[in-house]
Amino acid sequence: MHVAPYWLTDDVLDLKDHWKHVQDKNPHIGLCCPNITNRYYNNHFLYLKAHFEQRWFRYFGVQIEENSDPNVVGTLSRADQLQAFLKLSGFLYTYPERNTCYLPPIEMMVLGAPVIYLPGSLLHRYFGAESPGFVPDENAAIIAARRLVARDRYFIDDIVESQIPIVERYTKTHCLPIFSRIIKEILGSPSGSPFLYSPRKDLSGKPVLVLGHFEEGYGYSNGEYTSVHGIPRVMRQIVKSLTESDVPVVVTALHSDVVNTYGFYASQTLKSEHLSIFPAEDFRGSGRMPPVSQATDHWIDSVLPVPILLLRGLLVLLKQLLRRYQGKFKNNDPDASSRNSDDDPWQCVIVPHYYLFPEALNLSTKHLVTYLPDYMPHFFAGRGYFPEEESHLRIGRGLVKKSKTVLTSSSFSARYLPISKLAVPAEKIVIFPLPLLSPSPKDQGANDVEERVRSALENEIFIFYPTQPHPNKRIDLLLKSWIKVRALRSRIKVKLVLTAGKLDPTLMELIEEAELASDIYLLPRITDTSLSWLYESASCLAFPSELEGNFPTQVLEALLHNCPVVTMNNPLIADELGPLMRHFLVAEFADTDAFAELIVYAIEHRDQTLENQRNLLEFVKTKFAFEKYRDNILTLIGADVPIKTNDAVGGEGSGYEGRSLTPSKPHSALNATG
């Protein structure tokens, strides 16, 4: 027998610990009782009516038939159900099954709400009778439920804290490695899948290899494949450029993420037949791709004695040293390159990050391209934002040395990369700008906006900043500005929407001190359709970023989706647009007072702000056209296509003129941007 765990859906995990931020709680306790016309569930329904008939007990669950009982909530949409859960005062779990647990109480725990439970259940088996959520009988359950409705803070906090181990057991991080291993044992190798790559697969020419096996890099929500990271979205444009030009592409994926990886990259190409996926763990031999090390801890580590674990670590170290020695031996072989000149299986290998893929150092290929949009430690030394780890530097320098070309997305980056600690030779640098990374409005398909997004924000006034919480993004400056916006216009409840999954605790403290926790929305893993809707519905894009590696894609997307742009003076915008930057609302960097005033202006003078921005639209559409990007990518890998000139408007006033930036001489074969 095989036992495989499952994890909760993204719509619940996205709302992890949100319960405490919802202030207007209903004085109701949730219970679970679906399909009460079914004999089994009807017996439980009668039990609930006998013991928990007070009107403040609400029975949740899908009902096949209409029911007018005042305790029965009835069938809800998924979004409405989660919103109802967030407003409950707590949940009472009443089923006695020892080997299974219905999901509503688990979902409530993930939301951060208190759950109480009766004897005999799986929750009782796990927690025992000592947990603060345990109630020995129905009368005790009613007493505990009244304490929840009365918002007994210490009682609630004790229950919620005790639930943390259960919450972790239903996360993807915990379940997916176990689930993947069990399913692979049942099904065997997935090599029969039509989209998996095999060296014997009939492809028209050598494929381009794109390393795409990011940890937790891809997801699926509301009918669309998504990524929380920016780099996979860049790689998707490269894959689209190549496959739609009939160039075969192989993207590496973690075994646990093969389907989502394929779906993500196939979703925006018209010729997905040229796309294949190779599980990164399956590369073996010839130094082409060593096994990918797994970051997850093995359960055996928790039960083996320390001496055996030390022996295990020593064996791993010896294996790595042997591999390094073998690689050195091969690299010192003067006849190796000539002997293997026809043995390179790849037309080109694209490495999308300077240290996340150390296995690329062992790839036997003559044409390796490293994508290096930026090197943030160069500008943040001493601030603790981007510490320069020696292992990262070592990998980065190795990739730079091995690369035939280093691809970057701005002249700004090209000027400082040669003098950074990565020491990128100027003659290796190729520059061309990114195109739009998500579909333009006219390209959106029939997918609906996610209900969790529309239901929360439709007809609301909100500021939008789609980004991950990296230090250079300066979410702290935006929060300070937002608080000032609320003070400037207290009559307008301006909300804030971020695509970060969570914020630093110090930032959350700032929000809670301002009593604005209920007006900030964290929406990770949103779909492209929802992203477009947010741009179109937002009062403005507020862009406080201190530094980027390319012209900010958020600004480009906001322009194309008719969203007002308010930005702090950013060197990448100034460098690319020059005097045209005057068409935006621009505050000096870190001036939160001015930034707040400009946000208020954008809200109150939307039409005028958009009219001023339209002067940039044609320039941006031309400069960042996908067709130019596609042709540049084809030239980069050695395809014979005509090159279109990319006219740039370089500018001063970036705020970084005082830095000692020695101008590089970027590769001139491609469309430079400055």
Which strand (E) or helix (H) includes residue 488? helix 475-488
Given pLDDT bands bounded at 50, 70 and 90, which one contains residue 319?
low
- In whole angstroms, what is the distance from residue 103 CA to residue 99 CA? 13
Q: 164-173, long-range: CB within 8 Å, 24+ apart, which pairs?
A: 166/106, 166/109, 166/123, 166/126, 166/127, 167/16, 167/106, 167/109, 167/110, 169/5, 170/7, 170/8, 170/106, 170/110, 171/7, 171/8, 171/13, 172/7, 172/13, 172/216, 173/216, 173/296
For 538, list phi and psi in degrees, rounded to 5: -70, 150
Q: What's the pLDDT tens digit per position in 613-631? A: 998 988 888 889 999 999 9
Pairing of strands 520-522, 429-431: unpaired
Q: What's the pLDDT tens digit per position in 557-571? A: 999 999 999 999 999
Q: What is the DSSP letter of 426?
A: G
In 362-470, beta strands by DSSP E: 368-371, 405-408, 429-431, 462-465
For residue 649 the two structure tokens come to 């408007």
- In whole angstroms, what is the distance from residue 33 CA to residue 62 CA? 8
Q: What is the pLDDT of residue 39?
A: 85
Q: What is the pLDDT of residue 281?
A: 79
In 112-218, beta strands by DSSP E: 115-117, 208-210
Angle (CA) 218-221-226 rounded to 5° is: 35
Q: Cβ contacts of residue 674 below 8 Å, gap of 6+?
A: 410, 411, 412, 431, 575, 576, 648, 650
Q: Cβ contacts of residue 128 below 8 Å, gap of 6+?
A: 134
Residue 558, class by beta-carbon neighbours within 10 Å (0-12 exposed, 13-18 middle, 19+ buried)? buried
pLDDT, the chain, mean: 83
CB neighbourhood size of 68 (10 A):
6
Q: What is the pLDDT of residue 296?
A: 31
Q: Cβ contacts of residue 572 below 8 Å, gap of 6+?
A: 410, 412, 547, 548, 549, 550, 551, 552, 654
Angle (CA) 652-657-661 rounded to 5° is: 115
CB neighbourhood size of 54 (10 A):
11
- In whole angstroms, what is the distance from residue 167 CA to residue 13 CA? 10
- In whole angstroms, what is the distance from residue 327 CA to residue 562 CA? 53
Closest CA to 94 of 56, 130, 43: 43
**Contact (Cβ atoms closer than 8 angstroms) between residue 522 and residue 573:** no
Question: First CA to last CA across the chain, in angstroms?
Answer: 63
Q: What's the pLDDT tens digit per position in 138-195? A: 999 999 999 999 999 999 999 999 999 889 888 877 887 788 778 777 766 544 455 6
Given pLDDT bands bounded at 50, 70 and 90, which one contains residue 318?
low
- In whole angstroms, what is the distance from residue 236 CA to residue 241 CA? 8
In sign, the C-alpha dihedral spanning 620, 624, 627, 632 is positive
- In whole angstroms, what is the distance from residue 547 CA to residue 472 CA? 6
Closest CA to 237 of 446, 48, 409: 409
For 589, list phi and psi in degrees, rounded to 5: -60, 135
Closest CA to 359 of 209, 466, 258: 209
Q: Which residues make beta-bridge pairs with 496?
A: 463, 520
pTM, entire model: 0.63
Q: Would you list the DSSP string of 287-311? A: TT-PPPPP-SPPGGGGTS-HHHHHH
Q: What is the pLDDT of residue 201?
A: 54
- In whole angstroms, what is the distance from residue 53 CA to residue 313 CA? 59
pLDDT of 125 above 70: yes
Cα atoms found within 13 Å of the Cα of residue 564, Cβ hemisphere only? 24
Q: What's the pLDDT tens digit per position in 242-278? A: 999 999 999 999 988 888 899 899 989 999 889 999 8
pLDDT (mean) for 467-476: 94
Q: Which whole-number Å values give the CA distances from 113 to 15, 381, 670, in the listed order?
A: 11, 42, 56
Q: What's the pLDDT tens digit per position in 27-84? A: 999 999 999 998 888 999 999 999 999 999 999 999 988 888 999 999 999 889 999 9
For residue 101 the two structure tokens come to 């647990």
- In whole angstroms, what is the distance from residue 224 CA to residue 529 CA? 8
